């Protein structure tokens, strides 16, 4: 009897021992989350890692944005139509919320964007129902820049001053559908940079464009920037937007572009990075991305970060155009209402293979 009791007590002790061991060796969900490395920390020796946020995602994606990113860009809230919807009526509330989030969490902020042909209200280009004069438009542009850059002075370290002025058409330099160019002429570019510099001499001023690594367009951008620099225009960097897809992204083109722009003494940033799982022209609709798509996407992201790390003196930031796949403009471009999965976190905000590819590249 005594022996039996001893045996049972021994078994009980063993059971308790192994249960405790099992309990502590199984990480709980919260622990797993904490164990996910932070993107910003992984790259802190290289450059800030940013994300574009908007008035909705600063709430719905706040924790993940704070944990993984060290820089913010407003997806829309600092564009002309948001900041000055009517002449003289400046509306900073939504943009200020983004600044507040950055301030509280020690994040940097890129300003986006001062002068662009898109998302600019019609009133800017009109006067009494007619086309505004060149002098008046220059005045409106300078006023907008002075007030906006002045408002954010000290909070915004870099501005996209001019966005997308170069044409994709091999036969022309500047794009045609741009009222700034049409009414003022190409001097609007230099004037915009001068006005921004005057409003905040400490801010880094960027020219920003898409297809900026495509050789033909890159050469046009390079020539324009070279001329501006030769003329003494205060310009400090070039933003390669980086809206790419897994079918056409070229590591070689990215390297060539970084070297070409950096040869002008300019900083280079990737300012709007996302990687569509659909090659250009692939208009399919899918319920889920395939494993192959996600692997390819991860490889592309890994290549981008590996390349950027190789240019520590030239690359001064990479910003993702969104936080997670549940909120991305790619769901409506180039195919309206077609789900895409271009970012580093999935629709449930969990790290994707692409995330781990980026972490791998940091090592």
Q: Catalytic site residues?
A: 164, 272
Helices (H) then strands (E): counts for the chain = 14, 11
Task: Give me the helices (H) in 26-128, please.
Answer: 29-35, 39-42, 57-60, 62-68, 80-83, 93-104
CB atoms within 10 A of CB 273: 26
Count of positions on this chain that bind ligand GLA (CB under 6 A): 6
Q: Tell me how far, at minimum, the Cβ of 349 lies from ligand GLA, in Å.
A: 20
Return the residue of 33, 329, 335, 338 that touches ligand GLA, per CB under 6 A. 329
Tell me the per-residue interface mask from 280 to 319 with ligand GLA, x by CB under 6 A, - otherwise: ----------------------------------------
- Nearer Cβ to ligand GLA, position 272 or 353? 272
Q: Tell me how far, at minimum, the Cβ of 300 lies from ligand GLA, in Å.
A: 18
Q: Tell me how far, at minimum, the Cβ of 311 lies from ligand GLA, in Å.
A: 22
Give the angle subtended at the CA of 141 by the CAs of 140 and 147, to the nearest 5°.
85
Q: Tell me how far, at minimum, the Cβ of 173 lies from ligand GLA, in Å.
A: 19
- Nearer Cβ to ligand GLA, position 124 or 132? 124
Which residue's CB atom is positioned nearest to ligand GLA?
329
Q: Tell me how far, at minimum, the Cβ of 356 lies from ligand GLA, in Å.
A: 26
Return the residue of 84, 178, 241, 298 that touches ligand GLA, per CB under 6 A. 241
Paired tokens of 93:
């509330």
Is 362 an interacting residue with respect to ligand GLA (CB under 6 A)? no
Paired tokens of 223:
């020539």
Q: Tell me how far, at minimum, the Cβ of 133 lies from ligand GLA, in Å.
A: 28
- Nearer Cβ to ligand GLA, position 329 or 356? 329
List Cβ neighbours of 120 (8 Å cut-off, separation of 6 or more): 79, 80, 81, 179
Return the residue of 69, 210, 222, 278 that touches ligand GLA, per CB under 6 A. 210
Distance CA 342, CA 183 (A): 37
- Nearer Cβ to ligand GLA, position 117 or 349? 117
- Nearer Cβ to ligand GLA, position 210 or 301? 210
Tell me the per-residue interface mask from 117 to 156 with ligand GLA, x by CB under 6 A, - otherwise: ----------------------------------------
Among 317, 300, 311, 319, smallest CA distance to 260 is for: 311
Among 346, 282, 275, smallest CA distance to 304 is for: 275
Q: Are strands 267-276 and 315-320 parallel, antiparallel or unpaired?
A: parallel
Dump the DSSP string for 179-248.
Answer: HHHHHH-THHHHHHHHHHHHH-TTSEEEEEESSTTSHHHHHHHHHHHHHHHHTT----EEEE--EEETTT
Return the residue of 84, 163, 327, 362 that touches ligand GLA, per CB under 6 A. 163
- Nearer Cβ to ligand GLA, position 132 or 145? 145
* 155 φ, ψ (degrees, to nearest 5): -100, -30
Is 272 an interacting residue with respect to ligand GLA (CB under 6 A)? yes
Paired tokens of 54:
């908007």
List Cβ neighbours of 264 (8 Å cut-off, separation of 6 or more): 222, 225, 226, 229
Q: Tell me how far, at minimum, the Cβ of 52 lies from ligand GLA, in Å.
A: 8
Distance CA 164, CA 224 (A): 12
- Nearer Cβ to ligand GLA, position 75 or 353? 75
* 238 φ, ψ (degrees, to nearest 5): -125, 135
Residues in contact with ligand GLA by the rule CB under 6 A:
112, 163, 210, 241, 272, 329
């Amino acid at each position: 009897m005594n022996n039996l009791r001893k045996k049972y007590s021994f078994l009980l002790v063993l059971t308790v021992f192994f249960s405790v061991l099992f309990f502590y060796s199984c990480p709980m969900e919260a622990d797993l989350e904490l164990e996910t490395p932070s993107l910003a920390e992984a790259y802190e020796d290289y450059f800030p890692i940013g994300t574009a946020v908007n008035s909705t995602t600063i709430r719905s994606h706040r924790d993940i944005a704070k944990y993984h990113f060290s820089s913010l860009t407003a997806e829309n809230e600092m564009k002309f139509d948001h900041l000055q919807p009517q002449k003289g009526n400046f509306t900073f509330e939504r943009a200020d919320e983004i600044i507040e989030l950055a301030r509280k969490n020690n994040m940097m902020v890129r300003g986006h964007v001062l002068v662009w042909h898109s998302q600019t209200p019609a009133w800017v280009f009109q006067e009494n129902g007619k086309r505004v004069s060149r002098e008046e438009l220059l005045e409106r542009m300078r006023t907008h820049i002075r007030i906006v850059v002045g408002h954010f002075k000290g909070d915004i370290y870099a501005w996209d001053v001019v966005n997308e002025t170069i044409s994709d058409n091999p036969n022309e330099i500047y794009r045609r559908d741009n009222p700034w160019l049409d009414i003022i002429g190409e001097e609007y570019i230099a004037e915009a940079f001068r006005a921004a510099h005057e409003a905040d001499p400490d801010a880094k001023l960027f020219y920003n464009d898409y297809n900026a690594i495509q050789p033909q367009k890159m050469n046009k951008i390079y020539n324009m920037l070279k001329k501006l620099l030769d003329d003494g225009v205060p310009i400090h960097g070039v933003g390669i937007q980086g809206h790419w897809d897994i079918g056409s992204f070229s590591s070689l083109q990215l390297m060539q572009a970084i070297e070409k722009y950096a040869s002008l003494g300019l900083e280079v940033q990737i300012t709007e990075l996302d990687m569509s799982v659909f090659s250009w022209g692939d208009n399919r609709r899918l319920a889920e991305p395939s494993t192959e798509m996600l692997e390819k996407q991860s490889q592309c992201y890994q290549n981008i970060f590996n390349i950027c790390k190789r240019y520590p003196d030239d690359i001064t930031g990479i910003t993702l155009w969104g936080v997670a796949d549940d909120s991305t403009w790619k769901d409506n471009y180039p195919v309206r209402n077609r789900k895409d999965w271009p970012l580093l976190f999935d629709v449930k905000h969990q790290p994707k293979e692409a995330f781990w590819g980026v972490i791998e590249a940091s090592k």
